[in-house]
Amino acid sequence: MAVIGITACRKLEDYRQALLHVGGEVRILDPSMALDDALEGTDGVMLTGGGDIAPEHYGGAPHESLTDVEPERDAFELALVKEARKRHLPILAICRGIQVLNVACGGNLIQDIASEQTGSLEHNLKVPPNQPFSRAHEVWVEKDSLLASLLRERLESDSIDVNSRHHQAVKDVAPGFKVTATAPDGMVEAIEDPAVPFCLGVQWHPENFWRTGEFRPLFEGFLNAAQTSDARAR
């Protein structure tokens, strides 16, 4: 059974359940841990949601909307991504996680969509995450991407409906990564590194639907990559 390290966050249970329901074993990775201890025996890393990343990590000045910054978490997770990639571990990054992944690998962020992007959709809907009306908008998925292959049975004309709870987003994509999904307003909704078997970030919250299974293939594909990886941290 693959062991998946999940970064600690305030709303952890849906992430845990999404992995447990596809057969994974979960380990919580806390900023108090040393990197070697965190990754010892870990077969894959999931980056979870949460507050904003301090813009100093990508050369930005703080926007007035900046909120819930956790310096220790930022430092730990950015270093965790770099070390996990050195060890060729599969990575699945969700919401804040896609932003951490992008910044760790050399990209930057839009600090506040509503004030910086004229004509943008509402991306921060305060609704119950696991109810049908929480699906906020569709995303358009690039053909021949890892994301498209994982969601092929659910895609309708290369699009799929998602939920949305974020006010920041990927701006300039990290070198070597490609954008594999966008919202109708052009906002980046998924990135991946095509040079490795599994390194995927999504901006929405697929873990909220573990009960109904809409995004189960994302977690199945991630777990399969962790199980078959030939460069584990053990």
Q: Which residues are catalytic?
A: 95, 205, 207
* Token code pair at residue 125: 């809907």
Are β-strands 178-182 and 135-141 bridged in parallel, bridged antiparallel, or unpaired?
Answer: antiparallel
DSSP 104-132: HTT--EES-HHHHSTTPPP-B--S-TTSG
What is the residue whose two structure tokens read 């990209």? Answer: 107
CA–CA separation, 127 vs 176, rounded Å? Answer: 35
CB 35 within 8 A of CB 83: yes
